[in-house]
Amino acid sequence: MTSADAGTPAGTGSGTGSPAGSGDGDGRVPSGPPDLPASVVLGPGEGGLDRLTVTAPTGRAEIYLQGAHVTRWHPTDAEDVLFLSARSRFADGTAIRGGVPICFPWFGPHPTDATAPSHGFARVLPWRLLGAREAGDDVVVELGLEDSPQTRAGAWPHPFRATYRVTVGATLRLELEVTGTGTGPVTFEEALHTYLAIGDIRTAVVGGLERTAYRDKVAGGEVVQGASEPVRVTGETDRVYLGTRETAVVEDPAGGRSVVVGKDGSATTVLWNPWAEKAAALADLGDDEWTRMVCVETANTGDDAVTLEPGGSHTMTATLAVRLAGPAA
């Protein structure tokens, strides 16, 4: 995974641009947005980019239309669950460091086009706000992205339609549905690149990945059989866990809570932390911020990439929940 490239602007000639019907590609909402319930407010966010503030009875979130990027979420009785770097760049065509970037239609660097943006174009293009509704104690926001002349001229020229449903409440539910709208099959990779805020990575433990083989990208892509114990991150970590559909649980004693990352329609889990040396080289990450974050990513990459027949659809879902630690005995 090339998470080090999260703040890199989309390169020219890389297939980036405004999706069909999504305005002029400057990260701002197209004309004629749908009517919104009082719980959803559209306004300027950091860098002047359009941002949705979603306030449900049981939780609150912020979503930027550029990249359909959820940057904040927390239940009403908890602190922020998503990590967002204080050095994040909020600018047109630039990925945000933190929250939940959407990686699509490839993961990491493009295999044949060095000018294409890392992790695909979806996280740096403006998405269309399709609508929002209240559903009991939750609020559901729906955003969309389609192919455009710019994307079709780039590194992944296929017709597609992506719909992203964000359900905000006591839990955060993220559903990425991709439909092939062309006349031939289409193959893509995808990831919900979730940055979790934690008290201290050096005391955190990640469960749910035991005995699961992973590709160790720090070690050059070597495939390693996972241990029988939960994972403790003790140095730079960039692991692609293969063929796993299990729920992951981040036990965070320093933060006094656990974060549960459930998933559906996903066969890959990515675990990432840059550690001190790599963090110091990232302009959009504070030198000590690596201690307060870990990425547990819901994905389909590599051998788990998705292939759709014409008109076919696939939905990948991530669900985040918080368990607060009880009082000490």
Do residues 241 and 212 touch, judged by C-beta distance below 8 A?
yes
CA distance 251 to 262: 14
Residue carrying the six token digits 């294409």: 116
Establish whether 69 is a catalytic residue.
no
- Beta bridge partners, 53, equal 41, 62
Helices (H) and strands (E) in the chain, counts: 2, 22
Ordered domains of the chain (ranges, CATH): 3-197+283-323 (2.70.98.10)
Residues of the chain by 3-state class (helix, strand, coil), percent to 5: 10, 40, 50
Q: Answer whether residue 27 shows pLDDT above 70.
A: no
CA distance 119 to 1: 9
Element (H, E) at 173: strand 172-180
Residue carrying the six token digits 């559906």: 264
* pLDDT confidence tier of residue 24, bands split at 50, 70 and 90: very low
Per residue in 134-184, pLDDT (tens digit) is: 999 999 999 999 999 888 888 999 999 999 999 999 999 999 999 999 999
10-14, 93-97, 142-146: the lowest-pLDDT one: 10-14
Establish whether 193 is a catalytic residue.
yes
111: phi then psi, degrees, rounded to nearest 5: -65, -20
**For the residues 10-35, what does the mean pLDDT come to?**
45
pLDDT for the residue numbered 149 = 87
The DSSP call for residue 278 is H
* pLDDT confidence tier of residue 327, bands split at 50, 70 and 90: low
Check 74, 142, 193, 289 and give the catalytic one. 193
- Predicted TM-score (pTM) of the model is 0.90
Check 110, 297, 309, 314 and give the catalytic one. 297
